[in-house]
Amino acid sequence: MIRTDLALEARESFPEDDVEVKGVILKEEEKNGIKVTTLEIKDERAQKAMNKPVGMYITIEVNELDQDMPELESVVGHYIEELTGGVKNKHIMVAGLGNREVTPDALGPKVVDSLIATRHLIREFGKDFKDQYKMEALSAIAPGVMAQTGMESSEILQGIAKETKPDCLIVIDALAARSTKRLNRTIQITNTGISPGAGVGNNRKALNKDSLGIKVIALGVPTVVDALTIVEDRMREVLSKQGFSEDDSENFILELNSETMRNMFVTPKDIDESVNLMSQVIANSFNQLVYPVTSA
């Protein structure tokens, strides 16, 4: 079973990569070292095959993270605006999911820490102030995790959405990947919402239009990979080099499989720096959309 939150990796798991999956449209483009893959799941048949909800999935990949990445910020901002239908004259609420005390899960709260919240300023000073600074309404919350609050994130966000009435909710969360090469180098944006913790087998109540009554965009970065996946990939490589058949390799790996290992996830040793960089890239993308005035 492929354990991943990335729709692109779910598509790559099909044995025949060059065979079209009915109801799935895949487009790729690359510019200035940034690869963008747009994957659209169009119907229920494709949804069943991909094990992902019907909708649009945009995967943005970079080879290396640098301290200054305005190009990546621009690309992320472009697709946020595209999937939201534009942020002009809208109230956008951002929810940074995850546990800030656990580094691989701290992406969402760290993004919220760096956002420029503007909703209160517009409410206080009015439309003229909004127009003068070319400002759009943004509110943000880091609801924590159930072990900290005793509440589901969906319960907290439902209450806030009912009170503040945003036009769109954007949830940000750490994801699980199938490939170690995509850890902290990939951003997925989708209009299908999110099931927090799904990639690591810790499913919480889904956050989507059905559960919250408003448009929900999910943005995530894979920060962990299943430990068993790493072991399996390495074993396949070694057994193949030693001349074992594919069937023999598969049988050996099945014997290796264990429930203990299936509950283990690993993350790179530079996770602190990577999460800090990625959270800043995402926050800057939002800030440029809702408050594009740059400081002198």
Rounded CA separation 72/32 (Å): 9
- The amino acid present at 215, given as its one-letter code, is K
> Which phi and psi angles does 56 have, rounded to 5°?
-105, 135
- Per-residue pLDDT at 30: 92
Buried-state track 98-112, b at ≥16 Cβ within 10 A, e below 16: bbbeebbbbbbbbbb
Rounded CA separation 188/8 (Å): 9
- Per-residue pLDDT at 296: 38
3-state DSSP assignment of residue 70: helix
Query: The domain 7-220+271-290: what is its CATH number?
Result: 3.40.50.1450
- Per-residue pLDDT at 244: 85
Contacts 24+ apart (CB under 8 A), 199-205: 199/3, 199/4, 199/5, 199/175, 199/224, 200/3, 200/176, 200/224, 200/265, 201/3, 201/262, 201/263, 204/146, 204/152, 204/153, 204/154, 205/152, 205/153, 205/154, 205/155
- Per-residue pLDDT at 233: 79
Q: Taking the model in full, what pTM does it have?
A: 0.88
User: Between vectors from CA 80 to CA 219 and to CA 100, what angle results, nearest 5°?
Assistant: 35
- Per-residue pLDDT at 294: 53
* pLDDT tens-digit profile, the chain (296 residues): 567 899 999 888 775 544 567 889 999 999 888 999 999 999 999 998 888 999 999 999 998 776 558 899 999 999 999 999 999 999 999 999 999 999 999 999 999 999 999 999 999 999 999 999 999 999 999 999 998 999 999 999 999 999 999 999 999 999 999 888 899 999 999 999 997 655 445 556 889 999 899 999 999 999 999 888 888 778 888 888 888 888 888 787 777 665 556 678 899 999 999 999 999 999 999 999 999 875 43
Rounded CA separation 175/126 (Å): 38
- Enumerate the domain spans of the chain: 7-220+271-290
Rounded CA separation 173/221 (Å): 7
- Per-residue pLDDT at 138: 97
